[in-house]
Amino acid sequence: MSLDRRQFLDTFGRLGFASTLLPGALYAISAKAQDTRIAAAMIDQAALIAGISIAPDQKTAMLSALNTNLKGFAELRALKMPNSMPPAFVFNPLPPGMVPAAPPPGADLRKPLHISPTPAMATKDVPKDLNDLAFCTVRELSELVRRKKVSSLNLTQMYLGRLKKYNPLLQFVITLTEERAIAQAKEADKDIAAGKYRGILHGLPWGGKDLLAVKGYPTTWGAGGFEDQTFDYDATVVQRLDAAGAVLVAKLSLGALAGGDKWFGGTTKNPWNTEQGSSGSSAGPGSATAAGCVAFSIGSETGGSISGPSTKCGVTGFRPTFGFVPRSGAMVLSWTMDKLGPMCRSVEDCALVMQAIWGPDGQDQAMPPSWYQWNADFDWKKLRIGYLKDDFEKPWEPNDLPLAADATPEEKTAYERRKATEPAQRLSHDYDRKFDTAALDVLRKMGVQLIPVEIPKFPYDAMRTIYTTEGAAAFEEMTLSGRDKILYERSQSSYANGFRTAHFYPAVEYIQANRARTLAIRALAEVYMKVDIIVAPTSGPANQVTVTNLTGQPAVIVPNGLRGADAPPAGTGGRGGGRRGAAAPTAPAGPPDNSQRSGGPNTPLSITFLGTLYKDAEVLAFAHAYQQAAGFLKLHPPLFVQGS
């Protein structure tokens, strides 16, 4: 062949393939040539991409097996497997010798929960305008409903009204479930009047990310071409919230196929700055919860999709341990990384929602026997608390990846753009970091003895090919048929491009990435031998969002204040922090994503608490204590407060 590597890759780029092709390209080369058999010259092309050398006699020996494989691939694709069909293996995040937490002696889920004391507002008269209750916590609303001071129907109508009012601006609703919600609310009021109170969530309106199947309503996955997709069943999480008496008012937006905040209806906005997207991909749950349009919501995370919107929108998000909440009836992006979790106004709200949705359902095989029971009185002081010392203290450093000598014009442009933004990134980093470290001051005042720890060093970004590959398998038919062109975003970082690229990953590299993941799990388990919880900036050099999504740890993302009016402009980079001690404003105003970039003046930030596998209640109890001490529970986007 006279074609050199650069020319060959450029040629494939013009054909619509990414430039990071791997040996799997062999089969695509055959398909592109519309040939039913693989020829020796095609092996040469694939070997060139892989950077390996294959002798002529080796090629001859390979051809028979390769063509047999090609026939087998066609047979597998002819099966037309649905997105919900799992592979014949199950990811287990537990290192050797560790088992999920067992219930303590005498534990009984039938006993009343240990919840926080009755909120003061629950003893007062209910305001005439129920919009004044829009930002109440689950704990507060539940007490009002239990005491019959407000009906579920009235709450539901209030939240439906707010969803309709603010959706044109924020674009967080894909489908209102109004008829279902009104029927559920009336049933809740009837049961409560008859003394059949089901618990904390009874009668409370909630919204679910539109990757959860709900019988009788579309489940669009946020993607063009799926607008009319329906299922004849409810996701397990929906069933469990129905059983708890909660009222589903809306199916909320997600980026197309759970990627970012752009969906077929537009871009979901950040209520704190409506010129920004709300981050992804639990964009709708984050935005709707922050704007006081639901009592709580359910999101999902594969590589930051709860963490990002929680940070951007200033809500409390909880990403449970992998395998703690059943995903049955939810869209699959990655069988070994997807997690469902609550997005709420407080840590205790998340803990109370978890009480309703956790535990095996007999369908999701990635769920071992485990234990969870919320206890607001848990003695968190007995826990050992670590912190990522370098992430809190290390000065900002530019990304000094060198520009390749044979860089393309596009690569040169991207490099120059990145270098030009570095001064602004440094400014934003320095502004935000002082508030990250202020969180450590709050912890020390609480009496916490912080233990410095580090995230073990591994090529975590390389391991992210795991969920790209699994996503490509989950949506293979879309890629093969060319229907991926209907996805909203077609940039280099879009899922459509990622799925196409993943068809060129060899099976060997997918297995190697998973083996490296096992090494990371075992190394991080050694860190957790020293501590029970790790405090981390939501973003930082250790890239904890990526790491702990790979290793399965639970994470609580807690609002940590507001940036001041003097903050650097939006989009200049940043790591978290905020204006501490600010009063609640009252006047109008998956993969890590834009949540890690500065939201600009008067926007929220977060701090993250990482727990031990399957000890979700412990990390929630500690984060609850921090939230009470830090005092950022009543910060709400001013444009949406009190029905304005």
User: Hey, how many other C-beta atoms are within 10 angstroms of the C-beta on 283?
Assistant: 37
Of 151, 281, 307, 606, the catalytic one is 281
Say which residue the tokens 């990953």 belong to: 505
CATH topology of domain 120-387+514-643: Amidase signature (AS) enzymes (3.90.1300)
pLDDT on residue 63: 81
pLDDT on residue 59: 80
pTM value is: 0.89
pLDDT on residue 18: 36
Question: How far apart are the C-alpha atoms of 298 and 320, rounded to whole Å?
Answer: 12
For the residues of 371-437, what is the DSSP string, one character each? ----BTT--GGGS-EEEEHHHHHSPP----PPPPTT--HHHHHHHHHHHHHHHHHHHHHHHHHHHHH
Give all strands of the β-sheet with 247-252 in edge-to-edge order.
173-176, 247-252, 205-209, 296-301, 339-344, 316-319, 555-562, 604-610, 533-537, 385-388, 450-453
537: its two tokens: 């900036």
Closest CA to 327 of 376, 282, 366, 273: 366
Amino acid sitting at position 223: A
The model's confidence at residue 576, banded by pLDDT at 50, 70 and 90, is: very low
Cis preceding linkage at 281, omega within 30: yes
Clarify whether 281 is annotated catalytic.
yes
Question: How far apart are the C-alpha atoms of 434 and 430, rounded to whole Å?
Answer: 7
16 DSSP 8-state letter: T
275: its two tokens: 């010129």
pLDDT on residue 104: 73
Contact of 617 with 372, CB cutoff 8 Å: yes
**Least reliable range by pLDDT among 190-194, 341-345, 390-394:** 390-394
Question: How far apart are the C-alpha atoms of 153 and 205, rounded to whole Å?
Answer: 9
Angle, to 10 degrees, between the axis of helix 507-527 and the axis of helix 465-474? 130
Share of residues in the chain with pLDDT > 70 (%): 87
232: its two tokens: 């004849």
- pLDDT tens digits along 233-282: 999 999 999 999 999 999 999 999 999 999 999 999 999 999 999 998 99
Closest CA to 596 of 436, 411, 417, 388: 436
Domain boundaries, the chain: 1-78, 120-387+514-643
What is the dihedral sign for C-alpha 48, 52, 57, 58? negative
Contact of 374 with 320, CB cutoff 8 Å: no
Contact of 261 with 302, CB cutoff 8 Å: no
Position 24 pLDDT exceeds 80: no
- pLDDT tens digits along 587-642: 222 333 434 456 799 999 999 999 999 999 999 999 999 999 999 998 999 989 86
Residues 6+ apart with CB under 8 A from 609: 533, 534, 535, 536, 555, 556, 558, 619, 622, 623, 626
Position 572 pLDDT exceeds 70: no
Of 253, 297, 305, 328, the catalytic one is 305
Contact of 355 with 200, CB cutoff 8 Å: yes
Residue 212: strand pairing partners: 330
List C-alpha distances in Å: 501 to 25, 123, 526, 549. Answer: 9, 58, 35, 22
Contact of 559 with 272, CB cutoff 8 Å: no
- pLDDT tens digits along 455-475: 999 999 999 989 999 999 999
* 320 burial via Cβ count (<10 Å: 0-12, 13-18, 19+): buried
List C-alpha distances in Å: 474 to 148, 477, 481. Answer: 46, 8, 14
> Which three-class secondary structure state does DSSP give residue 559?
strand
pLDDT on residue 5: 41
- pLDDT tens digits along 272-324: 999 999 998 999 999 999 999 999 999 999 999 999 999 999 999 999 999 99
- pLDDT tens digits along 84-116: 999 999 999 999 999 997 777 777 766 678 899
Helix (H) or strand (E) holding 195: none
Of 30, 151, 209, 287, the catalytic one is 209
Say which residue the tokens 């919600």 belong to: 181
Question: How far apart are the C-alpha atoms of 41 and 39, rounded to whole Å?
Answer: 5
391: its two tokens: 């992430």
CA distance between the termini of the chain = 69
**Least reliable range by pLDDT among 20-24, 36-40, 254-258:** 20-24
The two counts, helices (H) then strands (E), for the chain are: 20, 15
Say which residue the tokens 């709707």 belong to: 288
pLDDT on residue 55: 85
Position 196 pLDDT exceeds 50: yes
**C-alpha angle with apex 25: 409 to 499, nearest 5 degrees?**
75
- pLDDT tens digits along 354-368: 999 999 999 999 999
| Half-sphere exposure (Cβ direction) of 262: Cα atoms closer than 13 Å | 10
Question: How far apart are the C-alpha atoms of 358 and 615, rounded to whole Å?
Answer: 12
Question: How far apart are the C-alpha atoms of 326 and 343, rounded to whole Å?
Answer: 16
Query: For 571-588, b where at least 16 C-beta lie within 10 A, e where not — what string?
Result: ebbbbbbbbbeeeebeee
The model's confidence at residue 144, banded by pLDDT at 50, 70 and 90, is: very high
Position 490 pLDDT exceeds 90: no
Amino acid sitting at position 461: D
CA 432 vs. chain centroid, Å, equals 22
Closest CA to 166 of 253, 262, 264, 279: 253
- pLDDT tens digits along 479-489: 888 888 767 55
pLDDT on residue 125: 92
Find the mean pLDDT for residues 423-447: 93
Find the mean pLDDT for residues 43-60: 77
Position 493 pLDDT exceeds 90: no
Residue 535: strand pairing partners: 387, 609
Clarify whether 305 is annotated catalytic.
yes
Which comes out higher in pLDDT, residue 309 or 407? Answer: 309
Mean pLDDT score across all residues of the chain: 87
Helix (H) or strand (E) holding 127: none
Position 512 pLDDT exceeds 50: yes
Find the mean pLDDT for residues 380-390: 97
